[in-house]
A and B are shown apart, each in its own frame.
Chain A
Amino acid sequence: MKNLLAITLGTRDIQIRLSALNNGNWLHEAINVKHTKIEDLQLPGYMPPGFNDTFCFSQPRIAGKLMVQNYQTIIPTLHFPLLQPVVDFLLNKKIAIDNILLLCTNQEEGFNAGLVKPKDFQNDTLYFAEIVSRYLQEYLLLPKLQVEIYRVTREVTNMDYLYTHFAREGSHFFSIDPEEIDKIYLLPQGGIDHINQAFTLKLIQHFGEKVMQLQQAEGVEPKQLNFPRLFLNDLYRQRRLQHLHDFEFGLLAESIPKGYKELAVAKKLANWANLKLHLNFKELKPALQGLEHKIEPAFLQWLYEESIDTPMERLKALWVMCHIQYLQGNISDLIWRLFTIAENLFKVMLEQLLGWPDTKDYYKSIAKGATNTKWEEFLGEENRKILQSEGVYIDNPNRYTYKTLFFYHYTQNMTESSDEYGNYLQVAEAIELMARLRNQLAHKMRPVDLEDINNVLSELNIKLLELLEIIKKLLSIKNNQFTIIIQHRIYPFLNK
């Protein structure tokens, strides 16, 4: 991953340090610094108010050209009061800079056509860019190819032109694949405000949150600004809130870039919820790594507890996803989840009723009629008899096995007719009815919609939502289940 540095150059980006002129070859006059042995090397400029050791150039074009021609002579006297601290700041943070873009102006064409004022023409920074380029290549040991000079040649205050210009004029910088880039450090302080703004916007648009804007005032430490990320966060806030509202945790997590500290917790929580909704229990605990000290211990503890992989937790998570898909009107994806609930509901209920462990490993892919000794032994004589008396195979666990055993044991322990029993019966019947849907999907290939499901369920006088509510009750799913809790936890991050 590359780190890029982009700098817009201004007229004060290169200065002479007057104390460095004391080798006898230089003469500083009020508005000039000149070399005593090189006749033409006269640099017009001024000492900015409040600075005793600094000489700025009043005509960067002329001064810059002379400095390019006499680079080795002048370089020991130069300093870069904005660039140098920024480059050192990055180096101190162990950030290796791979590519540099120097943005400068060259309004020669407009000047020759009489469209650019002489003063503006003289303020062009094209030669400053050459000096800075050469200096940074040497300072950072960068190959020449990795430092690009980008010249704005006209319309320097036209925001529309500038905004499009950067991407259209074939800059190598903009052709670097964003996927290859870790961060782009931007120092847009030099020169013309419009160039700075347009360039900043273009970078934000092109590279998003990877843009790290730096601010450097002369004589103080560089400061990293947050507004590009704040701005993008504001822009994306509504969409992210919508994802959150719709329980689209996957999309929400994806919409938050890696390394975005302010939303890192929100990203992790969204990712965790997404994994759980997709029953990817193996990944749940690893997904919580890095949340220590960022959320309160009790909440972290709750997340770990919710990450425990049990058949009941899976069934609950399946139900939650079904319910979300119902709310989203995503019936085609809801169906296979509902089938999976149907296939597993009585298994889980039976395991819970009889205190059995998860019996999934007793399933063996064997031909019917073959013996699954482990399963038969596990069932025990009583259960085998119950199943056989009902004509249910005992070779492998299946939904008939679980349903039969569940109802037998449940009614054995039931003292009087209860609503719960009625619910179980209704769900059992609904499951059989729902099975038709899968085949309808498979064989008729008709897209199944809510109406189809409700039509099938009309035999039981219930609708899909009621069925989901019954299952919810049977599974003891709280209203405040994990997606709601995560939703509430993420909301404040997004709405900051």
Chain B
Amino acid sequence: MFNYFVATVGKRDVQINRNKINENHLSLIYDGKNWYIKETVSGDIIEIDAPGNNMSDPGENHYTVKKPRIGGKIILKNDLLFSVCEFPIISPVLEKIFSAGKNIKEIKLVYTDQEDEGYRDGDTLYFSTIITKYIEDTFNIPVDEFAVWRSPADIDKQYADFRHKKSLENINLLPNNEEVNEIYLLAQGGIDQINFALTLRLIENYREKLIYYQKPEKGVVCLRDFPFHFIKNLTRNQTIELIKNWEFKGAQQLLASATLKTLCEFASLNIELNYIEAEKLSQDDRIKEIPFIAKYFEEVSKLTDSQFRQLILSISLLHDYYKGEPNNLLWKLRTLGEIILLPEVEEFLGLSNINYNQYDFTTAVEAKIDNGRSLIEYLLTKNEYKIKKELEKGKLTDDYNLLQLIYNFKYIANPSAKKNATEKMRIALMELRELRNELIHKGYFVTLKELENAFHLKKYTIESVQKHIELYINSIGVTTETLQVIKLSQSFCIDMLNEDNW
């Protein structure tokens, strides 16, 4: 892993030290209109910007070359002129990097060498070579140079070109990301569009590895954080989108915050019904102080195993509804129904420990009945009159109607039970538990609309089922807040991410 330095070369990157003129056979000349520096041995002469001109004054100590192409070419071949050149932008940045104990493997300079005659005077190709010479002589670091020939103000083109830009020696402008430890960028020389395009390309390519420098002409070198925060913000936006879409697993991969990562993990585990792993997070310092999480674990700790299963299925089921996953919702609804209703079956039949690891529970019940009697025969021994009546109606024939029968018994015995919220929920589940099979037989996929229609036929809406579940969960000592733990996790994550808007 290596460090690289990338800079754009502008007109003010090479300047002439004022204090060294009038020495070294150099003199300042003013012809009444323009200003020049003349090297008196060879007679080489370069035009400079008028001293004191606000538009180009680099400061008290320097002159700037008016036409970098012509001036740069002359400086390059004239050692005396070269010896008075200084690099007040690039040099302090390099020194700052070195003073921080960083090494640089390679320096990459971007210059202009335009085809368009109208703009060639301002091209920095020779300035780039001058800086290269200075760097190689002073710091002994290899320098590669990269030309912009066409459309320097076309940011689309520059942005696209920088991706695969090569030097004349066929070296890539962008080093292989895997080899880069840090890449330092000084993008303030020359044309704005080139600077911006290069900045974007380096942000895109190296992300957090990019260290952005600014060097105000008269100020000290500054290290800027905005590329890091820009990337962070973009990632944050993506994370929020994922969380809004209930994609907690995807969000987990993008999150930097350990708390939010763990919270997303917690949400995923609940959605996946993995209560074993979810429960392990009860002692996790990163999330246990979050009020709704603390409440969740406190309430869960008071539940029986069966109730905990009911809760986690309900939580997951609600998530499927929010996310628009009717098929998952359906089988969870059916499963929830079984978990809640089967103890009723056991109680009614006076049987216990029925092994429900069978495909249908009538078979499981029959397996528990002694003497090889059928379920019907067994039921007749429990209440001959009622059972016969049900048999006559043709209703007592499968597991679905077995549950129906049990409920009929219950409500005949205690009609007021039907008004009870808990019972209403059980009735709803009972009535809806076969819905999945019915719908699946009509095709393998149920849309939310079809589910709503099917609910409607049974005189339910998704909201009313949700309400039944909520009331039932409340009745086992769990608050609606805990039932809504996925939704709360979602809001919490989004709020936290929105707060961190650098």
Using a CB–CB distance below 8 Å, which chain A residues touch chain B? 117, 119, 157-160, 163-164, 167, 193, 196-198, 200-201, 205, 208, 213, 215, 217, 225-227, 230-232, 234-236, 239, 251, 254-255, 278-282, 314-315, 318, 332-333, 336, 339-340, 343-344, 360-361, 363, 365, 367-370, 397, 432, 435-436, 439-447
Contact = CB atoms under 8 A, between A and B. Distances in A.
A156 B402 CA distance: 78
A205 B233 CA distance: 7
A397 B274 CA distance: 35
A201 B328 CA distance: 41
B229 A158 contact: no
A282 B199 contact: no
A360 B440 CA distance: 9
B41 interface: no
A367 B397 contact: yes
21 contacts: A157-B214, A159-B212, A160-B224, A217-B153, A230-B156, A230-B159, A251-B250, A254-B245, A314-B444, A318-B444, A360-B442, A363-B442, A367-B395, A367-B397, A369-B394, A432-B359, A439-B356, A445-B273, A445-B312, A445-B339, A447-B277
B458 to A, nearest CB: 11
A326 B57 CA distance: 68
Contacts of A280: 445, 447
Contacts of A281: 443, 445
Contacts of A332: 272-274
Interface in B253-286: 272-277
Nearest to B205: A234
B296 to A, nearest CB: 17
Interface residues of B, number: 74
A457 B398 CA distance: 29
B398 A368 contact: yes
B357 interface: yes
B204 A333 contact: no
B331 interface: yes
Contacts of B154: 215
Query: Which 10 A-B pairs give the minimum distances between C-beta atoms?
Result: A279-B445, A368-B397, A445-B309, A363-B441, A163-B226, A447-B274, A442-B335, A435-B359, A193-B192, A443-B356
Given A278-B445, A360-B442, A445-B309, A439 B357 contact: yes
A368 B238 CA distance: 52
Contacts of B309: 445
Contact of A367 (B305, B357, B398): B398
A164 to B, nearest CB: 6
Interface in B149-208: 153-156, 159-160, 163, 188, 192, 195-197, 199-200, 203-204
B156 A225 contact: yes
Given A163-B229, A444-B357, A445-B275, 15 more contacts: A117-B54, A163-B226, A200-B196, A225-B156, A234-B163, A251-B247, A314-B445, A318-B444, A336-B328, A340-B440, A363-B441, A367-B397, A443-B342, A445-B273, A445-B339
A397 B195 CA distance: 71
Interface in B129-165: 153-156, 159-160, 163
A258 to B, nearest CB: 14
A401 to B, nearest CB: 12
A227 B159 contact: yes
B358 A447 contact: no
Interface in B439-488: 440-445, 447
B91 interface: no
B230 A163 contact: yes
A447 B272 contact: yes
Contacts of B272: 332, 447
B394 A225 contact: no
Nearest to B159: A227
B445 A231 contact: no
B445 A333 contact: no
Nearest to B434: A365
Nearest to B441: A363
B338 interface: yes
Given A200-B196, A225-B156, A231-B204, A369 B397 contact: yes
B103 interface: no
Contacts of A197: 192, 195-196, 199
A360 B192 contact: no
B502 interface: yes
Given A235-B234, A360-B441, A367-B401, A158 B222 contact: yes
A280 B197 CA distance: 43
Contacts of B225: 160
B19 interface: no
Contacts of B334: 442
B51 to A, nearest CB: 16
Contacts of A215: 153-155
A217 B212 CA distance: 29
Contacts of A369: 394, 397
A22 to B, nearest CB: 31
Contacts of A117: 54
B271 to A, nearest CB: 9
Contacts of A367: 394-395, 397-398, 401
B501 interface: yes
Nearest to A442: B335
A78 B50 CA distance: 32
A227 B331 contact: no
A159 B273 contact: no
Contacts of A333: 328
A282 B155 CA distance: 44
Contacts of B438: 363, 365
